[in-house]
Structure 1
Amino acid sequence: MNYEDRDTYGMYKTNLLRDTDSEEQGPGPDLMGADTLIGNDVYNHNEEDLGDIKEIMLDVRNGRVSYAVLSFGGFLGMGEKLFAVPWNALTLDTVNKRFVLNVEKERLENAPGFDKDNWPNMADETWATEIHSFYGTKPFDYDTVQRRNIDQI
């Protein structure tokens, strides 16, 4: 199922591929409802199914999306492995209505993961550094953004 199928409020009834000059209304694809994204498929650039989004982790103190929790492997929920994927490692594919993660399937099998009964402390900086290093992303630098915002005042 994809985000358009979960759109109970009708916010995606307009064209998500519209350009900036379009008069179409609606928030997507720049702003999307978190509830509509849970369950969305994640593929890689080789068209391999990597799983689906089980949860979206918000940094509530700083107002940012930090991670998508991706489910991969297993059968009927048994033996599945969960992965915290940095949000900035995902790209929304509005044509196929799914996310793309630029990671080979074999590499994902060896990614740092966890099971549903043993979640990591995602606020731990050491853990976050390991995750961002694995996916080749950079953690969000709140100090730089705050300095930039103060300079603009």
Structure 2
Amino acid sequence: MRGRCWFICLGLSFLVAATAVRAADEPQQTTAPAAPPPAAAPKQQAAPPPSVTVIAPKEAYGVLGRDVRSPTDEDMGHIVDVIVDHAGTVRAAVIDFGGFLGVGSRKIVVDWNALHFGRVNNKSDSITLELTKAQVAAAPEYKEDTPIVVLGAAGKLSPFDYEH
């Protein structure tokens, strides 16, 4: 019996040695340590839906390009821009005044409160300016990046605060 154990031990030793030799002959595969899973991006909260206001077609109108007329129905030009202050409050309108087909015209600025929007249902309707053609003709020309001189209806204009 003792010989048989010796024979089994010798066989097992041989088997272990053969396995070790074969493992040494094969290329070793090294595995990099497993990278940690990517950090989950912070879950951004979905933006709330925007508020929606529905305005009836006859309740609001665009004003750029609209003709401006005096109370006596004189042509005063057309609105080419709107001026707002730092708070976003509309303060004035820039009117392209005078000239013919854009030649000889100049831009002037009028107080927003001097404009009346009574009938502007159609693009062909005009806006009424509470000033005469002579008053508008005497107004200084508007130039960007300079202090703005705003022509207003009597007693209704509050001054702009501007930095030099």
TM over 0.5: yes
Q: Which amino acid aligns with 2:114?
A: A
Equivalent pair of 2:94/2:110 in contact (CA under 8 Å): yes
Q: Verify: 1:135 aligned to 2:161, yes or no.
A: no
Q: Verify: 1:73 aligned to 2:91, yes or no.
A: no
Shift of residue 77, structure 1, vs aligned partner? 1.4
Shift of residue 44, structure 1, vs aligned partner? 0.9
Q: Verify: 1:107 aligned to 2:135, yes or no.
A: yes
After the TM superposition, which residues 116-127 of structure 1 pair with which residues of structure 2 at under 5 Å, given as runs?
A: 118-119=143-144, 121=146, 124=147, 127=148
Q: Verify: 1:49 aligned to 2:85, yes or no.
A: no
Shift of residue 47, structure 1, vs aligned partner? 0.8
| The one of 57, 66, 74 aligned to 1:40 | 66
Give TM-score scaled by structure 1 length: 0.56
Q: Which amino acid aligns with 1:75?
A: F
Residue 12 and residue 99 in structure 1: after superposition, are their counterparts in 2 closer, same or farther (change >3 A)? farther
Larger radius of gyration: 2
Residue 38 and residue 135 in structure 1: after superposition, are their counterparts in 2 closer, same or farther (change >3 A)? same
Shift of residue 108, structure 1, vs aligned partner? 1.3
Shift of residue 106, structure 1, vs aligned partner? 1.8
Number of aligned positions between the proteins: 104
Aligned equivalents of 1:82, 1:76: Cα separation in 2: 14
The RMSD of aligned alpha carbons is: 2.8
Aligned equivalents of 1:65, 1:135: Cα separation in 2: 16
Shift of residue 98, structure 1, vs aligned partner? 2.1
Aligned equivalents of 1:46, 1:89: Cα separation in 2: 15
Percent identical among aligned pairs is 29
Aligned equivalents of 2:145, 2:136: Cα separation in 1: 17
